[in-house]
Structure 1
Amino acid sequence: MNIVKSPVWLHWLLPHLTWHHSRHEKIIYLTFDDGPIPDVTPQVLNILKKYNIQASFFCVGENIVKYPEIFEQLRIDGHRIGNHTFNHLKGWGTSLKKYLENVEKCHQYTQSNLFRPPYGKCTPQQFRKLRKQYKIIMWDVITYDFDTQLSPQDCYNNAIQFTTNGSIVVFHDNVKALPRLLYALPKAIEYWLAAGYEFRTL
């Protein structure tokens, strides 16, 4: 069973990570992981431009190197950039030295103080070291758009069901997510706008 909303006990266990922002403001923080990717990220940018929304993109360094024009378009469009490691590394099972070097290699391109660990997984030691340089951004709502067994409608339901004031919501601008992403993202944006939400970058 997919856990769409990050559990409160996890927020208590890791209080130095950013799980959401103020619950008093009717604001949503849209985030996208894994890009930039041709045929995916440009379509996301077009959707966001249609609704005049800025979001935060946690980019994989090797994709920035492969697709610098798309990465530059993120900046031109006013979106916030974050670090998602150079090779989309999972912290668990990766040595501290290798992981930190990979994050730093990505930082050379992103020049951002925002970091999100791929899969949301780091060791306690990795978290401690990274916190000295980065604001570590997690989430409180994840859409599971990358789950190929999930229907586009269920992805949309995931996006809107638990979102509330200050929510950080995760989508993915990668090929695996594309069918669910293109269906759920515009519908969710329209739902949130109708409910009176505003959108900001992290």
Structure 2
Amino acid sequence: MYFKRIPNIIKPLAKNLVFEFPNDENEIYLTFDDGPHPELTPWVLDVLKSHEAKATFFLIGSNIKGNEQIVERTLSEGHHIGIHGYNHLSGWKTKDVEYIADMKKAAEQIESKLCRPPYGEITRSQAKDLSKQFKLIMWSHLSADFDLSLSPQDCINHATDKIKSGSIIVFHDSEKAKPRLLGALEPSIKYYLEQGFNLMPIPA
């Protein structure tokens, strides 16, 4: 089970988590989880560049080795990076000490104060601890491109439904999400731009 959009009732219960960045500049925030991927991340960067769009990439520490140049390119092209754990652990299924240590291990490789809990699963105690060091970024819109039962059009619908200034949208530059990412990303970006939104990196 997952929420394509975070219910408003949940947000006040998670004071250490950021679900959106309200603004008056028509800025929205496209994010990518689970990279870097040797083929998909460069493709995503190409698509973003072609539309003069910026984004934020939440990286898995164990994926960085061998893909360092992709991370360098990401930064050089004006995007931001964030931490998505070293081993992509669920906070709900992992003891606090192990979970926090995994995040901090990733932080040794990823220089950023932005952090996104894998699966969006984090306990209050974990969030309280990590928020002392990081800005914990969730989302308002989940494309669900990881869901094998969905079509690219389903993901487009999820990623564009009721978008507003400050929305945070999640895609995945991962092998599992590949067919849906390839079909859904560019149409979604075109929609955002047609609606007058500016695609910006999450404030660091």
Supply the distance in 2 between the matched residues of 1:76 and 1:63 (Cα, whole angstroms): 19
Whether 2:147 is the aligned partner of 1:138: answer no
Supply the distance in 2 between the matched residues of 1:184 and 1:201 (Cα, whole angstroms): 20
The answer to whether the 8 A contact 2:16-2:128 is kept is no
Superposition map of 1:50-69 within 5 A: 50-69=50-69
Superposition map of 1:15-164 within 5 A: 15-164=15-164
Offset from partner CA, 1:100-123 (integer Å, 9 cap, x none): 111111101111100000000111
The answer to whether the 8 A contact 1:23-1:164 is kept is no
Return 5+ residue gaps in structure 1 as ranges.
none
The answer to whether the 8 A contact 1:145-1:180 is kept is yes
Q: Secondary structure at the match of 2:109?
A: helix
Identity score, percent: 44
Supply the distance in 2 between the matched residues of 1:178 and 1:188 (Cα, whole angstroms): 15
- The one-letter amino acid paired with 1:35 is G
Q: Secondary structure at the match of 1:156?
A: helix
Aligned to 1:169: 169
The answer to whether the 8 A contact 2:35-2:174 is kept is yes
TM-score norm. by structure 2 comes to 0.95
Shift of 1:128: 0.7
The answer to whether the 8 A contact 2:92-2:122 is kept is yes
- The one-letter amino acid paired with 2:84 is H
Return 5+ residue gaps in structure 2 as ranges.
none
Q: Secondary structure at the match of 1:31?
A: strand
Supply the distance in 2 between the matched residues of 1:197 and 1:135 (Cα, whole angstroms): 24
- The one-letter amino acid paired with 1:152 is P
Offset from partner CA, 1:43-98 (integer Å, 9 cap, x none): 10110010111100000001112321212211121110100000111111211111
- The one-letter amino acid paired with 1:101 is A
Aligned to 1:180: 180
Distance change (3 Å), C-alpha of 1:119 and 1:2 = closer
Supply the distance in 1 between the matched residues of 2:122 and 2:170 (Cα, whole angstroms): 18
Shift of 1:2: 5.3
Offset from partner CA, 1:130-186 (integer Å, 9 cap, x none): 010000000000000011110111111111113211100000000111111111111
Length, aligned pairs only: 202
The answer to whether the 8 A contact 1:141-1:162 is kept is no
Q: Secondary structure at the match of 1:73?
A: helix
The answer to whether the 8 A contact 1:5-1:162 is kept is no
- The one-letter amino acid paired with 1:167 is S
Aligned to 2:13: 13
Structure number with the higher helix fraction is 1
